[in-house]
Amino acid sequence: MKLPNLLLATAAFALPLLSPAVEPDLVFASQRRQPGEAGLEITAAAQTWKPAETALILCDVWDSHHCHRAVLRVQELAPRMDAVVREARKQGVLIIHAPSGCMKAYEGHPARLRAQAAPMAPNLPEGIGNWLKWIDEAEENAGYPVDASDGGEDDDPTEHEAWAKELAAKGLNPKAPWTRQIDTIGIDGEKDLISDSGVEIWNAMEQRGIRNVFLAGVHANMCVLGRPFGLRQLTRHGKNAILLRDLTDAMYNPAMSPQVSHFRGTELILGHIERHVCPTALSSDVFGGKRMEFSNDPRPLLAIMIGEDEYQTWETLPRYAEDQLGSAFRVRYVVPKSGENHSDFANTAELEAAKVLLVSVRRRTPPVAQLDAVRRFINRGGSVVGIRTASHAFALRDKVPPAGAADWLDWDATVLGGNYQGHHANTIATSAHVISNHPVTEGLPTTLFPTGGSLYQNTPLPVGSTVLLEGQAEGIAQAEPVAWVRKTPAGGRVFYTSLGHPADFKGAVFPLLLKQSLNWAAGSPERER
């Protein structure tokens, strides 16, 4: 670049442009995870960001890649990324395009000049121009949950060889064929920035008072984390960094440990990021529209709704799901946001695409729109699995919901097919046994087994509920139904069990019962018995 051009750029872009109007705040929920005494806890935090203090960085959304399947996934991601970029820009968020190693393609581009023109920030962190392998010792000691030491390519050999030949025929380096950002994502020369330099990006953000950063792009276990403008550097040096978790992908080959599908591998990396580096959020929650889902991920979507204070399912269920369900389901969490209102849930939009809803909620009255999302799920024939306190999930005890909130008093009778009337004393030992053959009870012991917690009273059940397990409280003659199946009025499959105490998760029966109930709930109608 000629020096006069750089001087002109400096003069033109030295000061941030002033917006004639103040844009509405970005209000959304971020997600993190942390270990707990009984397992793993998924937490959601309510966030309010000012657009003028916010940037969206697109990491390495290249026009090509040495892995053909990675290219196909980026091509599927890109239209949704472009929609998010356009909406974010419209709302006043700074867009930073960061296709590493491709700056030659943008020489003289106004967005490139604007990035180069930012003055040196007085608080420029030492080492901000370098790749950062780990954010701290804790992350390094944890290590990655997937092995990408082979480079992470998931092409089959024949496919990969054909793709390498195609790249070479185009005059591209098969090992590094990227030349620019994918053209699907538009660049606004009057507003955006283009840079792959941690120094330039930091300077440009400081010039504009950027405190908050969304990051989208690839690959989550490599560039997204390690680049000079990646999540580790941003978080380490004080930016509020959040990964848009539906707008990323990992480099992972299912032939490598832990030998799960590519999409499950990406989810494991997202879990690593949420625990060790920074929160994540859904693009749809922040900027509207529909979240991104890869079309060739065959797993049905399981939404797990957790909101109770007695039985530690906020920790036992996520640990169980991560250990037992990830290969069969795309697991999504609907949990209370941080704050005083424990009935205000994050991620209820996940119910739009869910096949199964697993409920562990006790006496919560969500905002009307959130409970309406549950109603829509039920009304379209979604399947429900309820455990323990799900029988009284959305009903207060002799109270009226606060303004703007809603209850669902006949949820137990009309959806779950139960008749909850309280429970026996916690001090009375209880046991249960299988009484009906069904896919849910296949392989379970037919002998009595101990259960955790008190025995719920549900006799008599409404017509249409088929009892699978029966329970007994020591010294009390009346047996009680402990698990049953039925259909919702819309035809969705329902399984409910009053089990779900922490001791049940540690036992041999309940984990298998729960897994088989979820598989049955997600099954096709012709397999129903």
Q: What does 112-156 look like in DSSP terms, one character per residue? A: HHHHHTSPPPTTPPTTTTS--S-SSHHHHHH--SS--TT------
**Other beta carbons less than 10 A from residue 132's beta carbon:** 20
pLDDT at 111 over 90: yes
Residues 508-526, mean pLDDT to the nearest whole number: 88
Q: What is the mean pLDDT of the chain?
A: 94
Residue 386 pairs with which residues in a beta bridge? 359, 496
Class of domain 301-527: alpha beta
pLDDT at 19 over 50: no
Examine residue 24 and say whether the peptide bond preceding it is cis (omega within 30 degrees of 0). Answer: no
- Which sequence spans correspond to the domains of the chain? 50-287, 301-527
Q: What confidence score (pLDDT) does residue 84 get?
A: 98
Angle of CA points 225, 238, 272, to nearest 5°: 35
**Other beta carbons less than 10 A from residue 111's beta carbon:** 20
Q: What confidence score (pLDDT) does residue 37 get?
A: 83
Q: What confidence score (pLDDT) does residue 131 get?
A: 98
- The continuous run of DSSP H or E covering 11 comes out as helix 3-13
Confidence of residue 21 (pLDDT cuts 50, 70, 90): low
pLDDT at 12 over 50: no
Residue 494 pairs with which residues in a beta bridge? 384, 486
Domain 50-287 matches domain 301-527 at the CATH topology level: yes
Per-residue pLDDT tens over the stretch 304-357:
999 999 999 999 999 999 999 999 999 999 999 988 789 999 999 999 999 999
Angle of CA points 438, 439, 443, to nearest 5°: 95
CATH number among 3.40.190.10, 3.40.50.850, 3.10.510.20, 3.40.50.2300, domain 50-287: 3.40.50.850
Q: Which two tokens stand for residue 151?
A: 């480079």
Residues 233-237, mean pLDDT to the nearest whole number: 98
Per-residue pLDDT tens over the stretch 246-286:
999 999 999 999 999 999 999 999 999 999 999 999 999 99
Residues 447-466, mean pLDDT to the nearest whole number: 95
13-17, 218-222, 364-368, 386-390: segment of lowest average pLDDT: 13-17
Specify burial of residue 229 (Cβ count, 10 A radius: 0-12, 13-18, 19+). Answer: buried
Q: What confidence score (pLDDT) does residue 426 get?
A: 87
pLDDT at 94 over 50: yes
pLDDT at 512 over 80: yes
Q: What values do phi and psi take at 177, rounded to 5?
A: -90, 0
Q: What confidence score (pLDDT) does residue 339 get?
A: 80
**pTM for the whole thing?**
0.93
Per-residue pLDDT tens over the stretch 125-143:
999 999 999 999 999 999 9
Q: What values do phi and psi take at 72, rounded to 5?
A: -60, -40
> Rounded CA gap, 67 and 154, in Å?
7
Confidence of residue 218 (pLDDT cuts 50, 70, 90): very high
Q: Which two tokens stand for residue 251?
A: 């480099």
Q: Give me the percent of the chain exceeding a pLDDT of 90.
A: 91
**Other beta carbons less than 10 A from residue 259's beta carbon:** 13
Whole-angstrom CA distances from 26 to 45, 50, 53, 147 are 13, 6, 11, 36
pLDDT at 238 over 70: yes
Q: What values do phi and psi take at 242, rounded to 5?
A: -140, 130
